[in-house]
A and B are shown apart, each in its own frame.
Chain A
Amino acid sequence: MIRVEHVDKHYGAAKVLQNIHFEVESGTCLGIIGPNGSGKSTLLQCISGVEPASAGEIVIRKQLLSQYSRKSLSQHLAVLQQETLPPVGYSVQEVLEMGRFPFQNWLGRDQTDASSLIAGVAEQLNLVELLDRPLHELSGGQRQRVALGKVMVQQPEILLLDEPTTYLDIRYQLQFMDYVRKWQRDCGLTIIAVLHDLNLAAQYCDQLLVLHEGKQVAIGEPAEILSRERVHEVFGTEPIIIPHPVNGTPQILLQPGSHETLGNEAK
């Protein structure tokens, strides 16, 4: 579905990504993990086409990314960002309708009638009572749900998530990831997600890609990727890793005082 071939990205002299090379199969979820500044978000921006890669190729649905027009790309690929939607005066209904923009002609007519689709999404995400409320009256968690609704209305085959749960409390984090997982299973969605929370990443992703200082360190299933040594090597902290008592995915417990100080890191 998505093939990233030897991608480099630099800004001037600074090399942000070097030789990134992986493939994501249709209907699976790839999580990208790594410390701050390791190039996770940049990689996502390259795949979403808003930042061109400096070298290498990205192939989406057997076609080069650079050959898509902005509009035709957005008919297949949607992005949900870390920042929730800004608190503007649009109603929830209006924002959901904006998800149809890639399918509308210049007069604003849709290729298909989207009203039942929008109603269905609102139903699924419990947004029905909020439909007439303006965005600036909603809480952060509700706004992120609206943002998810908007990308669902976009009906992509590929979804890119950039730390979507950062500003949510644990209940909304789980709720959000469950909505995404359900959507993935219902529609065979392919997902690439940058996730900060390693425990969430281990539970919701089929594959994990580890980035460190712009380089690809490892890719594989969560159980092989999340080892004590690797977490130590990449994040510079000494964790305890235990299997989740219910589903067996690796989960990380943090130990206070076990991180390397910045001085040690420099050595």
Chain B
Amino acid sequence: MNRTGLLWGGGGILLLLFTICVSATIGSVHIPLQQIPAILLHQIPWLQDMIPKTWPGSYEQILLKVRIPRIAIGVLVGACLSLSGAAFQGVLRNPLADPYTLGVSSGASVGAAFMIYFGIQYSLVGQWSVPIVAFTTGVLTLWLVMRLAQDEGKIPTERLILAGVVMQAFLGAFVSLLVALSDKTINEVMFWLMGSLSLRGWAYTAVLGPYLIVGFIIVMGYARTMNILALGEREAAHLGIRVDRTKMIILLTATFMTAAAVSVSGVIGFVGLIVPHMIRLLVGSNYKLIVPLSAIGGGIYMVIADTLARSVLAPTEIPLGVVTAFIGAPFFAYLLHRNKKTRRGRLS
């Protein structure tokens, strides 16, 4: 059990590092793959003298100022979204649950669309105006959904999902209205809604990083509890779990992580739904593995998707949400198919 965990975790991290390096080679200027680890390690003070500098200074500039910050925010957003997705699916015990189940994305979208529609997206605090407003409206939406769902102090799962769906539909209509009303700004609102990681400097990484770290620690701490929740809420209560409290803590943690990710990157669909399912098909239903591997897998998935988004039709960028769905759906279909075959094989 612990050995398989280490194998999967180690393999996952290696794959993530490899993906990052490959992604960093791609762009208007090609940087050879073998130079990327050297350039990056060169930045670490103690290692500086050990690695001779054999590359032009422009490579270093491109990597550190443009490509790596974008890759870093991609890893963080992907990790936040799929970690939240795993948490939502674990607590709500619903395979269709994803980080947006409780309406956070549509709440954040309303805030962002409002700012962009009225042309005030840089008014208050410069580039941070949209993220701050989007985060606030996202969390407000969560609060409304919780109020709507709760019944005598308890929060039944079905009510929670329904309240989320209702809120999503209502706020989604509001966003569509803003998109329809605007003629000149239509692309900007739409582009925000479909997600993008372009022009996100290191500051965004610094903002999102703490959310991921704190969120990961909390969700990981509840991994054993989520394993038991899979047996049913009653069963979990009989084994000594305070079910409603656990649900609240995990859902709030996951939603804050999601709101933070959405507010810097826009609404990137599919990652939070599909990555935890992929992980589950690969390693089984133990959340002690699913939680960390979802975070790593989400990072890998997002880096690949963003690399395609910025390179396939360069210099035009494809909206990230389009790419995540385009490559995610067929891969997921393949995994489902393979899973069916191995299960048959075992039974016969």
**A residues touching B (Cβ–Cβ < 8 Å)?**
48, 50, 70-75, 78-79, 81, 83, 85-86, 88-90, 94-95, 98-99, 101-102, 104, 106, 108, 137, 154
- Structural contact, A89 and B285, CB atoms closer than 8 A: yes
Given contacts A48-B238, A99-B239, A154-B239, 12 further A-B contacts (CB under 8 A): A70-B241, A74-B240, A85-B231, A85-B232, A88-B285, A90-B286, A94-B227, A94-B286, A95-B231, A98-B228, A101-B241, A108-B224
21 contacts between A and B (CB under 8 A): A50-B234, A70-B240, A70-B242, A71-B240, A72-B240, A74-B239, A75-B240, A81-B234, A81-B235, A81-B238, A85-B232, A86-B230, A86-B231, A86-B232, A88-B231, A89-B285, A94-B227, A98-B228, A101-B228, A101-B239, A104-B224
**Cα A86 to Cα B228 with chains together (Å):** 11
- Structural contact, A98 and B239, CB atoms closer than 8 A: yes
A81-B234, A101-B228, A137-B347 known; A90 vs B240 contact (CB < 8 Å):
no
Expressed in whole angstroms, the minimum distance between the Cβ of A78 and any Cβ of chain B is 7
Set of chain B residues within 8 Å of A98, measured between Cβ atoms: 227-228, 231, 239
A70-B242, A88-B285 known; A50 vs B230 contact (CB < 8 Å):
no
Expressed in whole angstroms, the minimum distance between the Cβ of B248 and any Cβ of chain A is 15
- Structural contact, B224 and A88, CB atoms closer than 8 A: no
A81-B235, A86-B232 known; A101 vs B285 contact (CB < 8 Å):
no
Set of chain A residues within 8 Å of B285, measured between Cβ atoms: 88-90
**Cα A37 to Cα B296 with chains together (Å):** 50
**Cα A88 to Cα B230 with chains together (Å):** 8
Decide if B237 is an interface residue (CB 8 Å cutoff).
yes
Expressed in whole angstroms, the minimum distance between the Cβ of B18 and any Cβ of chain A is 29
A101-B224, A108-B224 known; A79 vs B238 contact (CB < 8 Å):
yes
Residue of A nearest to B239 (CB): A101
**Cα A85 to Cα B235 with chains together (Å):** 9
Residue of B nearest to A106 (CB): B221
**Cα A74 to Cα B241 with chains together (Å):** 9
Expressed in whole angstroms, the minimum distance between the Cβ of B4 and any Cβ of chain A is 13
Scoring B residues 229 to 267 as 1 if CB is less than 8 Å from chain A, else 0, what string do you get? Answer: 011101101111110000000000000000000000000
- Structural contact, A50 and B231, CB atoms closer than 8 A: no
**B residues touching A (Cβ–Cβ < 8 Å)?**
221, 224, 227-228, 230-232, 234-235, 237-242, 284-286, 347
Expressed in whole angstroms, the minimum distance between the Cβ of A144 and any Cβ of chain B is 13
**Cα A154 to Cα B231 with chains together (Å):** 16
Expressed in whole angstroms, the minimum distance between the Cβ of A75 and any Cβ of chain B is 7
- Structural contact, B232 and A101, CB atoms closer than 8 A: no
**Cα A48 to Cα B239 with chains together (Å):** 11
- Structural contact, B240 and A101, CB atoms closer than 8 A: yes
Residue of A nearest to B222 (CB): A106
Expressed in whole angstroms, the minimum distance between the Cβ of A35 and any Cβ of chain B is 23
The 6 A-B pairs of least Cβ separation, nearest first, read: A74-B240, A71-B240, A102-B240, A89-B285, A79-B238, A101-B239
**Cα A70 to Cα B221 with chains together (Å):** 18
**Cα A98 to Cα B228 with chains together (Å):** 7
**Cα A101 to Cα B224 with chains together (Å):** 9
**Cα A188 to Cα B262 with chains together (Å):** 57
**Cα A154 to Cα B235 with chains together (Å):** 13
- Structural contact, B284 and A89, CB atoms closer than 8 A: yes
Set of chain A residues within 8 Å of B234, measured between Cβ atoms: 50, 79, 81
**Cα A81 to Cα B240 with chains together (Å):** 15
The 8 Å CB contact of A78, one of B227, B231, B238, B286, is B238
**Cα A89 to Cα B95 with chains together (Å):** 14
Set of chain A residues within 8 Å of B232, measured between Cβ atoms: 83, 85-86
**Cα A102 to Cα B242 with chains together (Å):** 12
Set of chain B residues within 8 Å of A86, measured between Cβ atoms: 230-232
Set of chain B residues within 8 Å of A71, measured between Cβ atoms: 240
Expressed in whole angstroms, the minimum distance between the Cβ of A77 and any Cβ of chain B is 8
Set of chain B residues within 8 Å of A89, measured between Cβ atoms: 284-285
**Cα A48 to Cα B241 with chains together (Å):** 13
Residue of B nearest to A83 (CB): B232
The 8 Å CB contact of B240, one of A73, A85, A94, is A73
Expressed in whole angstroms, the minimum distance between the Cβ of B94 and any Cβ of chain A is 13
Residue among B235, B238, B347 facing the most chain A CB atoms (10 A cut-off): B238
Set of chain B residues within 8 Å of A99, measured between Cβ atoms: 239
Set of chain B residues within 8 Å of A70, measured between Cβ atoms: 237, 240-242
Residue of B nearest to A100 (CB): B239
Residue among B228, B234, B347 facing the most chain A CB atoms (10 A cut-off): B234
- Structural contact, A102 and B239, CB atoms closer than 8 A: yes
The 8 Å CB contact of A74, one of B221, B238, B284, B347, is B238
Residue of B nearest to A98 (CB): B228
**Cα A137 to Cα B228 with chains together (Å):** 19
**Cα A72 to Cα B240 with chains together (Å):** 7
**Cα A85 to Cα B234 with chains together (Å):** 11
**Cα A101 to Cα B237 with chains together (Å):** 11
**Cα A83 to Cα B284 with chains together (Å):** 23
Expressed in whole angstroms, the minimum distance between the Cβ of A100 and any Cβ of chain B is 9
**Cα A162 to Cα B227 with chains together (Å):** 23
Expressed in whole angstroms, the minimum distance between the Cβ of A2 and any Cβ of chain B is 16
Residue of A nearest to B284 (CB): A89
Residue of B nearest to A90 (CB): B285
- Structural contact, A50 and B237, CB atoms closer than 8 A: yes
**Cα A241 to Cα B230 with chains together (Å):** 44
Expressed in whole angstroms, the minimum distance between the Cβ of A33 and any Cβ of chain B is 22
Set of chain A residues within 8 Å of B224, measured between Cβ atoms: 101, 104, 108
Expressed in whole angstroms, the minimum distance between the Cβ of B276 and any Cβ of chain A is 14
Expressed in whole angstroms, the minimum distance between the Cβ of B346 and any Cβ of chain A is 8
Residue of A nearest to B285 (CB): A89
**Cα A75 to Cα B241 with chains together (Å):** 12
